[in-house]
Amino acid sequence: GQQVMQIPQYQHVQEGEDFTTYCNSSTTLSNIQWYKQRPGGHPVFLIQLVKSGEVKKQKRLTFQFGEAKKNSSLHITATQTTDVGTYFCAGSNILTGGGNKLTFGTGTQLKVEL
Amino acid sequence: GAGVSQSPSNKVTEKGKDVELRCDPISGHTALYWYRQSLGQGLEFLIYFQGNSAPDKSGLPSDRFSAERTGGSVSTLTIQRTQQEDSAVYLCASSLGFGAGEFGDEQFFGPGTRLTVL
């Protein structure tokens, strides 16, 4: 079945440093979504990418979808303490009949120290 | 309601007992999902309902787990003869589903039910 891996599993940074998490799927994806889960909270949708090579930005966050639609990345510039949480990528393969079912990545837990 | 709600928020049960977890999705959302998240781990897919289609049960870990969705709205996840390894947070999510278009749509998560099996 489809597997989605993320690296790194954990990342500690000093406030102001940049952060990147990488997401790799074992199969080609129709789309990739990113979610953020704060400690003790539930996942919250950040963004969806659907086109090969697509890049989207949200303030300090930059999301990229690979050309082969099998990998993605999230880059945060100048991290802040409010960025603390676990970031999950999630992909679906609608074209193979999976519907809107998402396979979530393993997640990257980000800690930001002052 | 404004978002996805789940009840109870916490459930402590004894090994071998049955439990029922409830999810109220966002009104108008045709798709509903159940996930399980163990402490510090990722989201494990359990089951997916889309409209009146047969649910995708491929993620249910054993036949002790079952779920139903009545009237295309509220869903109940039932775990029979609970085991200690069932302890986790059970998350429900809903989305517009097929009505959102061909590229899928964002999932809105409830606050989860924390299940502890003693």
A48 touches chain B (CB under 8 A): yes
Contacts of B56 in chain A (CB under 8 A): 99, 101
Could you tell me if A106 lies within 8 Å of chain B, comparing CB atoms? yes
pLDDT of chain A along its 114 residues, tens only?
778 999 999 999 999 999 999 999 999 998 999 999 999 999 999 999 999 999 999 999 999 999 999 999 999 999 999 999 999 999 987 666 566 788 999 999 999 999
Structure tokens at B98: 């097929």
Query: According to the model, what pLDDT value does residue A95 have?
Result: 64
In chain B, which residues have their Cβ closer than 8 Å to the Cβ of A33?
A: 104, 106-107
Residues of A in contact with B58 (CB under 8 A): 1
In sequence order, which residues have a C-beta less than 8 Å from that of residue A69 and are 6 or more positions away? Answer: A28, A29, A30, A32, A52
**Per-position DSSP letters for A33-81, written without gaps between them:** EEEEE-TTS--EEEEEE-STT-EEEETTEEEEE-TTSSEEEEEESS--G
**Residues A80, A72: Cα–Cα separation, whole Å:** 22
Q: What is the pLDDT, as a whole number, of residue B88?
A: 97
Give the chain A residue nearest B33 (alpha carbons): A101
